[in-house]
Chain A
Amino acid sequence: MSARNASAGGGDRAGDGEPADDLLLEVNQSSSVSLSSLMSPSSAASMSLSMEMPRKRKGSIDNQDSKSASIPDADMEDDENGSDGEERDVKMKCIREPHSQIEKRRRDKMNTLIDKLSAMIPTCNPMSRKLDKLTVLRMAVQHLKSLKGSASAFSDANYKPSFLPNEELKHLVLKAADGFLFVVGCDRGKIVFVSESVTKILNYSRAELIGQSLFDYIHPKDMGKVKEQLSASELYPRERLIDAKTGLQVQAYLPVGGARLCSGARRSFFCRMKYNKVSVKVEENEFQASSSKKKESQKYCTVHCTGYMRSWPTSQLEADGEGEADKQDSAHFSCLVAVGRIHSHSSPQVNGEVKVKSTEFITRYAMDGKFTFVDQRATTILGYLPQELLGTSCYEYFHQDDLPHLADRHRKVLRSKEKIDTNCYKFKTKCGSFVTLQSQWFSFVNPWTKEVEYIVSTNTVISQASRSGNKSEQSSHSKTSDEDGKKSLPIIPGISATPGSMIYAGSIGTQIANELLDFNRMNSSPSSGNVSPFSLPQDKSPQTHNQISNNVPNGEAADMEIAGKSSSEDEPQGAAFSGEETLMGEHSQMDLDSVVGPGLSNFSNDEAAMAVIMSLLESDTNLGEAVDFEDMRWSL
């Protein structure tokens, strides 16, 4: 056998020196080998092995001999390689291309394909050396032959080979979609045939359905629709055509009679079909179907049916005859052959739970509270585009009442590895109003640098129900203490511009971040929330400070007090103040009004605190320095 191949190969080789020939010969030879090897059950294994076979450079004439020689080894069994095919292949080869580039490209492409092919073919495992292309191809041929089986396909004149036999096609279809085939008669809706897969989908057995009327299984409201689809055209003589250009409907009175029901006419519609809830055993299904006829206990699922009309001679229901469907012709039984598919993805959730996605969005903060990432959902909730928020500190948007609490949480989250929940707090939206959020913060620590990389915040919008948290904070604002305020805290000019406020608001965050860094640096353990370097008396503080200190560990208060008298205090203060437009707090801190310029009248306590913290930030850890809170305005 192999000798014959070799000779055939040799013959071709002599005839035409093109490298293409080699390839063709390889096809033959390798296919034959593969075929034989397939006979053994080791197909899969050899397939995998063949993947390892490196590809040879596209055959040169020298290789021919070696290939031929290797064939006997490659063949595991007889190869029925027909050399007659080779000549045909030779004729099929492409026209010789003059340019080497193109040639090379082709060769490469072929090589790749050969590799792939060899990967697919169960070439024999014991082959330790590489199989050349010829062999691979030969094996492929053999393999294909074996796959076809012993059926002498070519002898059948009517044989229309398709890439996949129909049965497998059916399986494929079933894999692609949860579908089933059904054939219903058009006149009464009798289910003539239904495929086996219907049991998986509707949980009715096949036997149950065949012979029943389709309308028994269709939702009552859909019955009319399905009837229309099945029926002839008389009901709707007007075909509605749509003019492609203008998109308008054109009423055309067409003689519709024959067209609608003729064989091959397509149908496509959605309908609801009953399905059985129980899917255990067939017997159970039958029982249930017969016993429960109540509609309310039936569940329906939406089936997308697409199909075509077909007519069968009633004489033999299984005949293939197709003739012009003629309603009057009783010898023909026209029916709809359709595939029903379930698109489960398109149905809304029916499991009772109203899946209301709570409006939430995710943001990420850098360690100091500046936004580094904002989910796009934030826009619908907050009104700000992500770009507007990025780089700004979250503290600018927090309501003043919530600042201490949030600052506290901020601290916490930087230090702990768990998710920290905040209470409800108010976040300023773009239009100035506040939306109540509740967040869950979680800091992400870089495992290598052990630094906090960012804080992930999942923010949920909640309804305005709970204001208790805020109120408690507000109640603490009773005191006004401006005793320590009037140090060197610069008077914040009446800044209403945002840039300043941003800086200021960011100060809180930054300061908190810095705390952490300092803390880590100094490596001292906090005591009851007190960060050691920042222990300071808390009595001197303006109201906001108090507010914060009341709700926040001492450390924070201390931090604020540590704010140095740097000039940066100015901007932060003003900045924070201008950040908040409306103030919801009820505490009056009018004493500060006198201190700070008029522009600060609308500043909130938060901002004041921010200002303080900012000043803290600007200065180094400055123990014991009083903060000029008095200068800050605590407006209402």
Chain B
Amino acid sequence: ELAQQLPLPHSVSSSLDKASIMRLTISYLRMRKLLTSDEPVAEEETELDIQLNSSYLKALDGFLIVLSEDGDIIYLSENVNKCLGLAQFDLTGHSVFDFTHPCDQEELREMLIHRTGSKKTKESNTERSFFLRMKCTLTSRGRTVNVKSATWKVLHCSGHVRVYDPHTEQTTNGLKEPPVPYLVLICDPVPHPSNIEVPLDTKTFLSRHTMDMKFTYCDERITELMGYDPEDLLNRSVYEYYHALDSDHLTKTHHNLFVKGQVSTGQYRMLAKRGGFV
């Protein structure tokens, strides 16, 4: 009966086994707990607002995931199956570490740590951005395969650590729960060049490199953007063109690339042909 109570489509809830019910219930309750502690929405929403609320998820490339401090998936949005092929309700309540690459787990654990600001730092940095490999059961043709034969997909996860502070709640017996941090992430897949469903515009150019970042091929769109001819660049390492201050970040990204397989950089500056940075 608990399954019935869960706000799930009937078709889903009727096929859940006991453990899953439990999992989902727990997660659901956790989510409620976390969300109810927020400030209420101050302004009324227009009707359009309300309608568009549903588009948030659709507009995002990736899916949303809420993790507890010890890595349990409290909430996972539905579009995870579009991205990873796993079903939302299969994952909810489980530990995220079951689905992430073992080498990335350490990094993930670090991300989950939320150090409450000490006296030195007034506000700890709550932002998180990192790359994570998760199991993906989508084949290139779009079909889903069994979890056991899943491949790894690189996701760019960015989000914040938020703290649920139960101090605002009334407690009848004076017990106060400690503030619970949780991590909210939006995980985007890093688009593979062969699979870009999003049209690239003129300001985007494609280039291919060897492992040490020497150009082997470059789109001609670079010419109008930066002034180089593609031939100019061939066999030259792209590091020659990076702005010095960005090289730190780019080196790290390059390292990440080797570790994870796919990576997307932040903004950086690249030297244009006639001087100046783009």
Contact = CB atoms under 8 A, between A and B. Distances in A.
Interface stretch (B3-11, B104-112, B254-262): B3-11
B203 A137 contact: no
Contact of B22 (A114, A145, A164): A114
B127 A344 contact: yes
A268 B184 contact: no
Contact of A170 (B4, B53, B208): B53
B266 A346 contact: yes
B58 interface: yes
A247 interface: yes
Contacts of A224: 202-203
Contact of A164 (B41, B75, B193, B203): B75
A141 B7 contact: no
A175 B184 contact: yes
B129 to A, nearest CB: 5
A348 B268 contact: yes
B23 interface: yes
A390 interface: no
Contacts of B145: none
B226 to A, nearest CB: 13
Interface stretch (A39-47, A527-535, A602-610): A39-47
Given A242-B193, A346-B129, A89 B3 contact: yes
B206 A249 contact: yes
Interface string B68-82: 000000010110000
Interface stretch (A155-163, A286-294, A431-439, A623-631): A155-163
A167 B50 contact: yes
A181 B55 contact: yes
Interface in B139-178: 140, 158-160, 162, 166, 169-177
Interface stretch (A335-343, A398-406, A490-498, A505-513): A335-343
B162 to A, nearest CB: 5
The 5 closest A-B pairs by CB, nearest first: A346-B266, A85-B1, A113-B22, A44-B169, A45-B171
11 contacts: A42-B171, A144-B29, A161-B6, A172-B66, A193-B48, A195-B52, A240-B200, A242-B206, A320-B51, A339-B56, A346-B267
A417 interface: no
Given A161-B7, A240-B200, A92 B61 contact: no
Contacts of A169: 53, 56-57, 64, 77
Interface residues of A, number: 110
Contacts of A247: 193-194, 208
A168 B41 CA distance: 10
Interface of B: 1-9, 14, 16-19, 21-33, 35, 38, 41, 43, 45, 47-61, 64, 66, 75, 77-78, 88-89, 92, 127, 129, 140, 158-160, 162, 166, 169-177, 184-186, 188, 191, 193-203, 206, 208, 217, 219, 245-246, 248-249, 265-269
Given A141-B2, A177-B158, A195-B49, A348 B59 contact: no
Contacts of B54: 166
Nearest to A29: B1
Contacts of B78: 162
Contacts of B219: 249
Contacts of B248: 357
Given A243-B194, A306-B59, 4 more contacts: A144-B29, A163-B27, A173-B186, A175-B160
Nearest to B253: A346
Nearest to B23: A113
A45 B170 contact: yes
A88 B1 CA distance: 7
Q: Which of B8, B23, B25, B49 lies at the interface centre, i.e. has the most chain A CB atoms within 10 A of its CB?
A: B25
B245 A356 contact: yes
B245 to A, nearest CB: 6
Contact of A308 (B52, B59, B129): B59
Nearest to A241: B194
Contacts of A596: none
Given A82-B1, A117-B26, A318-B47, A173 B203 contact: no
Contacts of B26: 113, 116-117, 120
Contact of A163 (B28, B47, B50, B199): B28
A48 B177 contact: yes
Nearest to A344: B127
Interface string A109-124: 1100110110011000
Nearest to B167: A44
Interface stretch (A19-27, A463-471, A553-561, A573-581): A19-27
B18 A23 contact: yes
Contacts of B48: 193, 317-318
A345 interface: yes
Nearest to B125: A345
B55 to A, nearest CB: 5
Nearest to B178: A48
B198 A166 contact: no
A44 to B, nearest CB: 4
Contacts of A307: 59
A355 B245 contact: yes
Contacts of A89: 1-3, 18
A145 to B, nearest CB: 6
A28 B56 contact: no
B79 to A, nearest CB: 11
Interface string A95-118: 000000000001001100110110
A176 B199 contact: no
A452 interface: no
Nearest to A177: B186
B29 A121 contact: yes
Given A45-B170, A224-B203, A147 B8 contact: no
Nearest to A41: B170
A159 B7 CA distance: 10
B269 A31 contact: no
A196 to B, nearest CB: 6
A94 interface: yes
A343 B23 contact: no
B59 A339 contact: yes
A242 B32 contact: no
